[in-house]
Amino acid sequence: MNRPALAVLGASAFCYVTAETLPVGLLPQIAGGLDVAESDVGLLLTSYAVVAAVSTIPLTAVTMRVPRHTLIAVTMAIFVLSQAAATFAPSFLVLGATRLVCALAHGVFWSIIGPITARLAPPGQAGRATALVFVGNSLAVVAGVPISTAIGQWLGWRVAIGTITVAGVVCVVLLGKFLPKLDPLPHDRATRLGPQLRASVAIIRDPKVALLCAVTVSLVIGHFAAYTYIAPLVRRDAGLAGFGLSALLLGYGAAALIAGYTVGRFIDRRPGPALMLLLGILAVAVAALAPVLGLVPTVLATLLWGGAFCAIPVCLQATALRIAPQARDAASAVYVVAFQIGIGGGALVGERLTSAGHLGTLPLIAAGLALAALVLTATARQVFPSHLADADHHPEPRAATPPLR
């Protein structure tokens, strides 16, 4: 297993997740700095997700024949340029525009990172390798978001964005150093653009992929309806703001890191039970936030919420790779679209209800949709089997062992 390359991919994922969700922790600062309402800042997540969802499939198809190591470096370079522009955005409109540029690269990045990870992993260990890369996602929650929140509250939200821009520059350099040469697989090189695009769109007709997307959309809409407004939610429930909010987000991320590492030991063997357990914990934890419970219950429920949710994408991404072994880029693109629809839809639902004064209903919506995802998972055993034997693992498609540069 190429651990240095996986570590760089995880660091790149860290940057993307931190930047995408940064407005969550800095809602008051961005709103005050640009003279807009907090609910308007929440729409930054919605617009970002909409652009990523619309552009992912066509851009993934267009770039199918680009060497994978080059393409992921390009997506990180676009990330750096967009974040640099956001750092100096003079208005809310310009800030939103810079995030939309980043969103165009976002979908391609997440569509190819899973297949790249699978090609760097030994046969039968794609899930474990995915879990290692997704440690970057958990670190974004455990460190990226709370540290960015603390920096933003101390030095201003522009400094917070500038800091993640510098981290992106480092990732671009390290990708060039450690990621091996990964040419497109033979069937990708030989296929013309038109068939590639049609295949990427048509794969949603695969019942297994459709079920995966249904679980993803249901779960993510509910989660982001509540998570986008976690700052006002915990302020209402526990009186947490400023340093207290940063500390809670740090704990949320720590729980995510532990859960993500732990689930990586099971998803190549028992993907169904692992996912159902996480969905059950998520539903109970987030439902507990509906009433105003006070400091300690709110903190405990939030930590369980963070641990459960942030481990779930590891299961879902590994599933996308497993159920479509000969069309991993296309399946990953469709999964990314479903995830982005969930983010955008959830942020929009949260904005509408928060603006209408129904903040307390967001946890109930999140819990209900998590239960719906749990039911779908339990009934879709062909997608989320209770057990995978060695013979059940699909072999990793490889053109050849990629040489290190």
Q: How far is CA 317 from the centre of its chain?
A: 10
pLDDT in the model for residue 372: 94
Q: How distant, in Å, are the alpha carbons of 71, 176, 300 from that of 402?
A: 16, 14, 45
pLDDT, one tens digit per residue, over 184-227 is: 655 554 455 566 566 666 677 788 888 999 999 999 999 988 88
Q: Residue ranges per domain, the chain?
A: 3-388
pLDDT, one tens digit per residue, over 361-386 is: 899 999 999 999 999 999 888 888 87
As a whole number, mean pLDDT of residues 384-399 equals: 56
pLDDT, one tens digit per residue, over 26-38 is: 877 888 888 787 7
Q: Is 348 helix (H, G, I), strand (E, B) or coil?
A: helix
- Give the CATH number of domain 3-388; options: 3.10.20.30, 1.20.1250.20, 3.40.50.2300, 2.40.30.10: 1.20.1250.20
pLDDT in the model for residue 186: 54
pLDDT in the model for residue 184: 66
pLDDT, one tens digit per residue, over 252-308 is: 877 877 887 777 677 767 788 889 999 999 999 999 888 877 788 888 888 898 888
Alpha-carbon gap, residue 222 to 225, rounded angstroms = 5
Amino acid at 346: G
Q: How far is CA 77 from the centre of its chain?
A: 19
Global pTM exceeds 0.75 = no
pLDDT in the model for residue 38: 72
Residue 240 CB-density burial (10 A; 0-12 exposed, 13-18 middle, 19+ buried): buried
Alpha-carbon gap, residue 106 to 340, rounded angstroms = 10
- In the predicted structure, residue 167 carries a pLDDT above the cut 90: yes
Confidence of residue 396 (pLDDT cuts 50, 70, 90): very low
Most confident of 60-64, 85-89, 294-298: 85-89
pLDDT in the model for residue 3: 81
The overall average pLDDT reported for the chain is 81
pLDDT in the model for residue 1: 65
pLDDT, one tens digit per residue, over 229-243 is: 777 877 776 777 677
Alpha-carbon gap, residue 31 to 26, rounded angstroms = 8
